[in-house]
Amino acid sequence: MLTRRHLLATCAAAMASPSLTQAAAPASGKQAAAYYRYKVGAYELTAIHDGVWMREIDDKLVRNIGWNAVAFAMRDAHMKPSILPTPFTPVVVNTGSKLVLIDTGTGGQFPAPSGSFLANLAAAGIDPKAIDAILISHFHADHINGIRDKDGGMVFPRAEIHVPAPEWAYWMDDSNMMKAPESARPAWLNVRRIFKDIAGKVNRFNDGKELAPGITAMFTPGHTPGHSSFLIASANQSALVLGDVTNNPYLFLQNPDWQGVFDVDGPLAVATRRKVFDRAASDRTLVQGYHFPFPAVGYVNTAGKGYELVPAMWQPTL
């Protein structure tokens, strides 16, 4: 049985007998490609991992709750208290007529080990030039930076770009930028870097707009003023691509009332979160969450004062 004696004996043996023989196979050092496919009706969805940002945080992570509660939740989730591991998972939807990318990742412009989107897209057999349309949930850098490479080149040259109209209005208004605290200024300048010389080509959509066959915008404001999710429906099946309705599920899904520092309007983000997840739990809707652990797809149950994520079991076939 599991005893400390076992562990100590094993460690002692490992230290006492350094191996002098050649390994039968050298250590690989390489991780598997990280993409995951599933069907929603006749549509084929591919979740593409853009790696994980080891985001340094402090005791201000949640605005409306004491740090002790957050630190306990992070410990229960087996995280370190000073780092919020933040994965990114854009999704490609193949409708049969259109190849639609929802959010674009970090564009390799966040610290490693993030930035694996294009390598994983290639592993999935998808050429950036084949993307017909890009749908953007909101204008935070980890969602829009992938539109361009580090030198400003367009990564998806054929793609129409669709953005929420109120998100455009909020971020592109210079008076809003001027009102923002100095520390937030880089985010506003980044939005201009991405969109400044393509403004005429960017389609600004409103709530309920069908952006591609079976893919409909569903505004979910709070995280940002114009934040949008996307409802995908095909052949009596559906899935909801959440964007940032919630962040890490162990923190902000289990505790939906917590207002993270990344939510522009904390109370509205909470109200939206509860509305979306009450319905998703009731309808047993498949959800894809941008900051959920890869492959970031699953179901939501009500649990305690909030919700819990039930990750979809990895299937070997579609």
* Residues from 133 through 152 that contact a copy of itself (CB under 8 A): none
Instruction: Compute how many residues bind a copy of itself; rule: CB under 8 A.
Output: 95
Q: How far is the CB of 23 from a copy of itself (least distance, A)?
A: 5
> In terms of C-beta density within 10 A (0-12 exposed, 13-18 middle, 19 or more buried), how is residue 4 classed?
exposed
Q: Of the candidates 111, 186, 208, 267, which one interacts with a copy of itself according to CB under 8 A?
A: 208
Region of 11-19, 66-74, 145-153, 192-200 interacting with a copy of itself (CB under 8 A): 11-19
The 56-95 site mask, x for binding a copy of itself (CB under 8 A), equals --------------------xxx------x-x------xx
Q: Of the candidates 97, 173, 185, 267, which one interacts with a copy of itself according to CB under 8 A?
A: 97
Q: Of the candidates 44, 149, 257, 265, which one interacts with a copy of itself according to CB under 8 A?
A: 44
**CA-based torsion, 310, 50, 154, 56: positive or negative:** positive
Rounded CA separation 212/302 (Å): 31
Rounded CA separation 264/269 (Å): 8
Q: Verify binding: residue 24, a copy of itself, rule CB under 8 A.
A: yes
Q: Of the candidates 123, 177, 187, 202, which one interacts with a copy of itself according to CB under 8 A?
A: 123
Buried b (16+ CB within 10 A) or exposed e, 50-59: bbbbbbebee
The 230-259 site mask, x for binding a copy of itself (CB under 8 A), equals -x-xx-x-x-x---------x---------
Q: Of the candidates 118, 138, 218, 241, which one interacts with a copy of itself according to CB under 8 A?
A: 218
Q: Verify binding: residue 111, a copy of itself, rule CB under 8 A.
A: no
Tokens standing for residue 79: 């995280």
Residue 298, H or E segment = strand 297-303
87 vs 260 by CB, closer to a copy of itself: 87
Q: How far is the CB of 188 from a copy of itself (least distance, A)?
A: 27
**CA-based torsion, 135, 245, 241, 209: positive or negative:** negative
Look at residue 19 and give its three-state secondary structure: coil
Region of 31-39, 145-153, 171-179, 262-270 interacting with a copy of itself (CB under 8 A): 31-39
Per-residue DSSP letter, 261: T
Q: How far is the CB of 245 from a copy of itself (least distance, A)?
A: 10
Q: Of the candidates 58, 151, 179, 314, which one interacts with a copy of itself according to CB under 8 A?
A: 314
Q: Verify binding: residue 169, a copy of itself, rule CB under 8 A.
A: no
Q: How far is the CB of 147 from a copy of itself (least distance, A)?
A: 18
**CA-based torsion, 162, 99, 276, 246: positive or negative:** negative
Buried b (16+ CB within 10 A) or exposed e, 266-287: bebbbebbeebbeebbeeebbb
Q: How far is CA 111 from the centre of its chain?
A: 16
Region of 6-14, 66-74, 144-152, 186-194 interacting with a copy of itself (CB under 8 A): 6-14
Tokens standing for residue 234: 């095909």
188 vs 222 by CB, closer to a copy of itself: 222
**Phi and psi at residue 288, to the nearest 5°:** -120, 120
